[in-house]
Amino acid sequence: MARKHKEVCYMLVTADRYQLPLDLADTLRELSHSTGLSYSGIQKVYHGETAIRLPKGSYAVAKCYIVKVNFENDPADKFLT
């Protein structure tokens, strides 16, 4: 039996009821670089589960959340080509 690898990614989502994705990164540090926010600010939002204000002009919304997405990658899966 093939071993399953647990993978995670982090999504920046809107702070409304729809939580639409704005950005996606493999680590919180990558998310901080792509958004222009400080790493410590990103960590506070992620661990505190509060909204963060985005820099003006970078996104169409003013506030967002950070969500951790867990998924498993099974090497035995076959994709249709």
What's residue 1's pLDDT?
Answer: 47
Whether residue 52 contacts residue 37, with contact meaning beta carbons closer than 8 Å, is answered with yes
How far apart CA 30 and CA 33 sit, in angstroms, is 5
What's residue 49's pLDDT?
Answer: 75
The structure's pTM equals 0.76
How far apart CA 31 and CA 63 sit, in angstroms, is 15
Average pLDDT of each block of 10 consecutive residues along the chain (81 residues)? 68 93 94 92 88 85 91 65 48
For 29, the token pair is 């540090």
